[in-house]
A and B are shown apart, each in its own frame.
Chain A
């Protein structure tokens, strides 16, 4: 039926099931791998088995003549293709030429060396084994601190010190703060390399239509429009001749907030062979060739007064860059420096970053991107300070929080926190967990020689990224709303959500604004030929920025609907409510559908009004949003095995107004899962030769359902004044709040043994060694 329903029911704020889920759960969604085209060819990429080597020669003769093989390309062939760009501009940034295939040298295990194209993917894979590459293996370095040491192998010979960039930020008077301090605590804190591990690996289908001079690129990405702009430029193709489609994306977590060599390479191949070509990344390639996250070694110093007042924070941050800069690599640690003060009222900071080249795959954005590292650092340091001063970790936090009368609050790092009430979620979490009782129980257990810990993390984050001047490629977002002649509503969002639930939440917003049903609304994303230019989904921005663009487009349309209503009802006093325009005087009404029909039929038009019902808005946010919250984790340690059992996980998150509590819970759960992954299990380990030792799922422990604790998810609500929806963003909160709460809990449990700090992941053996040494 084509009738548009009118409803008195509202949707925003309700636990509405995700409208995208049926196709996802029933396995009927279309991912890149599901795309088939007549004449499709398949590409397999030969990659370097060495972390550092000179390529003496590449012999492709046998591969080219192998059955089914159409062609083989090496770096010599693709020299005309532009380099994979770094999107970040910094004064002293050293940017190595990142060609899409290696030319003279390879810089990490997995570096693409050649591409085999065949009519069958099995034949392409077989032929890849026939390519003979003569490597002169060179010394490699995989550890950022070792790479900084004198005499370390140079990752890029032109920069023997391996320094990729430096960054310095000062706020207030740090030297004075440290001079006046009663106590200074110092700690080296590692935030290990992690593999983002999207369930769907990357994949590209490129389809060159020579007659139309049109390149269609299907790629599993979070940013289709940026991929179009950049890849078109790399290929020397006019941007309007390229269409990028992100079909269903099976997880990104930042790893698909990038432009990869393979995207341009497949475009190149399709243009050369004049046929569609498909490349699907294997899991092994995903481990070694898709960006990693984190990779910090942080040296913290915190100055404080004896009463616990924090005076200043210093951070020397060593960022493992890997062999190249990917799109945002140098930006990620800068987010850590910006977030250094956390929720605490100190105006004195000093942050120094050294970005270091290593013979590893590049690091870049991974869920939280810079903020989990910063939160982990400051939340560990606050606990260390509390222990030093023999203060309760809750008390020291409450003492140092920026109080709620101080907002908007300017930080020492140059941010303006929009709104906040930091004590409330902490107090709520303490109540929920039964903090006072737990401390009594802990004291009793300690007498019995048992280890139980209570860990608190109070986090803040930078979301709704972000004002354009603070971003490399624009921080606004776009939305188009079309009311079709039948009254059905189509939303085109530039934000390209890919699993975060905006097909549901955006429909909720539109349904309430227009007074129609959810089923009358369709949300379209991820196709540059259909959707106006947009930025993408990352940094907890899709709803706060993209949803706001949608909100304003809806206001434009509502104004136009009213005009048509006034005309049709012959009244100058009408209201738009429950899917109708009502004459406030006579009570007569025109349905939404009647108005849409009239707007397109256009027999008569209101004054100064064009036919049709369509509105597009690009919304530039005036600031970031700053969600916050408190996570408390209770752990019991098995002192025989070192195993950690999470007894309670209480999360109180404040992400501003909540559009759909079910989706927010899902985001918190997923975020916490990835936070627990870092805290307890995950680490990308390279050996001294630059081989990734944890390159398979049998060695790299991602959290699975049966490894998860029960998460008690609660909220407080402090709306953001930055956008009319009052929303802040929640996609990364769980990850950011989680890891310090877990580590603080375990350190608290083991504190009677004199433990002050432990680096992640907290493997049972690590814990056992601590316990065994003391026994």
Chain B
């Protein structure tokens, strides 16, 4: 940048002081060409600020579009097959009833409670950034694709809580609860991050999905005890688990 432009920019940003400011203002009053250059530069700065406001509002509109997007959850074909298999087995192998009842109940409770975690990272930044690409896939419910990106990023950023958190939720969305538990345990070990309540909640769901109802119950009780965003959901899920336990005599 040439020196004059740089000087004008500093003036417009209010960064000129003392003698530099005095000299600048004196020249402004005596040099019409300089005065015109300052005016043009000011118009440019104002123009870019106006454009910035419009850009900012566009970003808010993108958030609103996400809020307005109906969250429909389709039942994966895989799960339909599983349900059919459960029914068949219950017909031909009555003695496995107890086991499959539990599996089916866990699945049902999980499905009723699981909603993908909100994207708090956003997608408006560098479109070439792999995390942003992954978050776009996540927003588009391509959890398999997003998970591949998160797993590729983790070796470079092993301490990134954000990546691990969204990797865990993606694992849950595609039916990999054990991998989700591994990631979430690491997230829960770290204290200084923005997802502590969410990490506990998804850990409870991961235990439920994996069939470990005891650990799910224990984690849900911890959530209720601590309070926060997921207290109500945790309490409701605990009630349902209690009812199921009473029905099968567990």
A joins B in a complex: no
